[in-house]
């Protein structure tokens, strides 16, 4: 099939590259000229394991093209994906300006019957809006299909190649089946395509993300309670996980969820409820628990040191989770801002997110410095704060940590080390929901 993908970010690029890899001809469109020229030279603008070689191979074979020319890409395609961002608006609702702009472009260039697939995460009713915008600009028949994306940054290629499920929402059966055909190459093990109406498909995406965010906030609340009552959340977690109705996934306590999806999607779903005069108590609690949890390590540091004024802190991990360079709404960035606001200096590192974090924190000036080596940031610091559970932080050389830190203090937001071992090493060790031994 001939496909245009509007928006070449984390979702659009993976979608375009893997649909090209399955034999389709794909044009990826972006308004960001820098991204497009990098991609044309065979480099990907994001860190995503395994993606660059797929992009290069398909680009060289002529199946995967990159352009800023939306009109031409739309005209040459019979399927157009919308994969642009849907960030939070000032009131927490999803800002649909990028999606609706693309809908206008599609309407203006509708030279033949097309299927328009909304892959961006959008509130219920958005596909109807897209339908209205396009229909207002053309008489050529077309179909709008909702096909929300569930890939995870860090394992996006694998997730797209073998998805748990593909959701297709449509009012036209034939259009839905044509979209289903696109995913057949990824369904060889078993068919996991679920067909439904447009609104249910849009809701499935939000409900899934909100459920996952709820699990995280729930476990963080349990962890904080464990802290108060002297229980160990790691034992509690394992004990809970053996109940088949609960399971082991996504019940790890930590410093809260971040990234470009959960925070904005929980907010947007809550806003949708309010729009329809419905209280969304669970969602509101999930968000406020998360906001507090992101500052959990800074509160622990304040409890330990008293004033943070004039102190220096080392930070390990800036990405919102391992295996990505995405720092959008990352707990580390919120923690760093709080430390600097309290008068502290920060020395930070991350294996792949340094450049993005530098850009995001540029307004803090020299209150934050960045190093590639995780041991370099420890030099002269009063304590180490761990925000992201990168594998290389799991078994560090503790003698080097002890030699570099001014005082042997670690605030671990990901429960990476054994409290007993830390005690033996003479480290003041504060983790999430586990008693200090
Ligand atoms: P992103 O910010 O990485 O990429 C969006 C891209 O769209 C940018 O490169 C931007 O320049 C481009 N763009 C904006 N307007 C455009 C236009 N008119 N024409 C062409 N390009 C345009 O966003 P993302 O993380 O890929 O997310 C895209 C959507 O997918 C969002 O709705 C998000 O919620 C959803 N989603 C994201 C993930 C994820 O892990 N990132 C997972 C599932 C779903």
**pLDDT digit string (tens) for 37-54?**
999 999 999 999 999 999
Q: Are residue 180 and residue 305 in the same domain, yes or no?
A: no
| Domain-terminating residue out of 269, 291, 313 | 291
Q: List, by residue number, the catalytic residues.
A: 261
Within a domain: 424: yes
In the chain, pLDDT over 90 holds for what percent of residues?
A: 99
| Domain-terminating residue out of 291, 316, 333 | 291
pLDDT given at position 338: 98
Q: Which of 28, 30, 65 to mutate to test the pocket of ligand 1 (most atoms within 8 A of CB)?
A: 30
| Domain-terminating residue out of 167, 196, 225 | 196
In the chain, how many domains are there? 3
Which residue's CA is minimally distant from atom 12 of ligand 1?
Answer: 7
pLDDT given at position 189: 85
CA of 61 to the centre of ligand 1 (A): 25
Q: Are residue 103 and residue 135 in the same domain, yes or no?
A: yes
Q: Which of 201, 260, 360 to mutate to test the pocket of ligand 1 (most atoms within 8 A of CB)?
A: 260
Q: Which of 9, 147, 268 to mutate to test the pocket of ligand 1 (most atoms within 8 A of CB)?
A: 9
Q: Residue 395 is part of which domain span?
A: 294-430
Question: What digits encode the pLDDT tens for the residues 105-136?
Answer: 999 999 999 999 999 999 999 999 999 999 99
- For ligand 1, residues with CB inside 6 Å are 6-12, 29-32, 35, 70, 83-86, 98, 101-102, 120-121, 149, 151, 153, 260-261
CA of 260 to the centre of ligand 1 (A): 9
pLDDT given at position 188: 87
- What crossing angle do the helices spanning 281-293 and 262-275 adopt, rounded to 10°? 150
Q: Are residue 7 and residue 146 in the same domain, yes or no?
A: yes
Question: What digits encode the pLDDT tens for the residues 319-340?
Answer: 999 999 999 999 999 999 999 9
For residues 241-252, give the mean pLDDT: 97
Q: Are residue 186 and residue 217 in the same domain, yes or no?
A: no
pLDDT given at position 145: 98
Q: What number does the ligand 1 atom closest to the CA of 153 have?
A: 40
pLDDT given at position 436: 78
Q: Among 119, 17, 2, 8, which residue's Cα sits nearest to residue 72?
A: 2
pLDDT given at position 319: 98
pLDDT given at position 342: 98
Q: Are residue 37 and residue 143 in the same domain, yes or no?
A: yes
Q: Are residue 14 and residue 27 in the same domain, yes or no?
A: yes
Is the pLDDT assigned to residue 254 strictly greater than 90? yes
The span from the CA of 374 to the CA of 124, in Å, is 44
Question: What digits encode the pLDDT tens for the residues 392-412?
Answer: 999 999 999 999 999 999 999
Average pLDDT over all residues of the chain: 97
Q: Are residue 415 and residue 331 in the same domain, yes or no?
A: yes
Is the pLDDT assigned to residue 437 strictly greater than 80? no
Q: What number does the ligand 1 atom closest to the CA of 122 have?
A: 32
Q: CATH code at 111?
A: 3.40.50.720
């Amino acid at each position: 099939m001939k496909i245009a993908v509007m928006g070449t970010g984390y979702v659009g690029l993976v979608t375009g590259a893997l649909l090209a890899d399955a034999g389709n001809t794909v044009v990826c469109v972006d308004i960001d000229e820098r991204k497009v020229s990098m991609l044309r030279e065979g480099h990907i603008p994001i860190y995503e394991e395994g993606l660059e070689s797929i992009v290069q191979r398909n680009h060289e074979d002529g199946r995967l093209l990159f352009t800023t020319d939306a009109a031409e890409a739309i005209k040459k395609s019979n399927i157009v994906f919308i994969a642009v961002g849907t960030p939070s608006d000032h009131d927490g609702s999803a800002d649909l300006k990028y999606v609706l702009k693309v809908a206008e472009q599609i309407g203006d260039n509708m030279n033949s019957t097309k299927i328009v697939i909304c892959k961006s995460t959008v509130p219920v009713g958005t596909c109807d809006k897209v339908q209205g915008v396009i229909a207002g600009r053309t008489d050529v028949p077309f179909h709008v299909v909702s096909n929300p994306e569930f890939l995870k940054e860090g394992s996006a290629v694998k997730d797209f190649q073998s998805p748990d499920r593909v959701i297709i929402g449509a009012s036209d059966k034939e259009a839905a089946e044509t979209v289903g055909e696109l995913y057949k190459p990824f369904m060889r093990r078993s068919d996991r395509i679920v067909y439904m109406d447009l609104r249910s498909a849009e809701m499935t995406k939000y409900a899934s993300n909100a459920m996952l965010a709820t699990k995280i906030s729930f476990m963080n609340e349990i962890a904080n309670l464990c802290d108060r009552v002297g229980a160990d959340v790691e034992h509690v977690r394992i004990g809970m996980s053996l109940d088949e109705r609960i399971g082991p996934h996504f019940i790890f306590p930590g410093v809260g969820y971040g990234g470009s999806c959960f925070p904005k999607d929980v907010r947007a779903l809550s806003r949708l409820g309010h729009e329809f005069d419905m209280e969304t108590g669970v969602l509101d609690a999930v968000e406020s628990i998360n906001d507090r949890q992101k500052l959990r390590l800074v509160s622990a540091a304040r409890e330990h040191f008293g004033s943070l004024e004039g102190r220096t802190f080392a930070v390990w991990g800036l990405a919102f989770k391992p295996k990505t360079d995405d720092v959008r709404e990352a707990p580390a960035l919120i923690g760093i801002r709080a430390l600097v606001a309290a008068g502290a200096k920060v020395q930070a590192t991350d294996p792949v997110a340094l450049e993005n974090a530098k850009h995001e924190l540029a307004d803090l000036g020299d209150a934050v410095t960045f190093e590639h080596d995780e041991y370099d940031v420890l030099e002269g610091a009063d304590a180490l704060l761990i925000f992201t559970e990168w594998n290389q932080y799991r078994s560090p050389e503790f003698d080097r940590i002890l030699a570099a830190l001014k005082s042997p203090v670690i605030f671990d937001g990901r429960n990476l080390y054994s409290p007993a071992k830390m005690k033996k090493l003479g480290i003041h060790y504060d983790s999430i929901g586990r008693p200090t031994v």
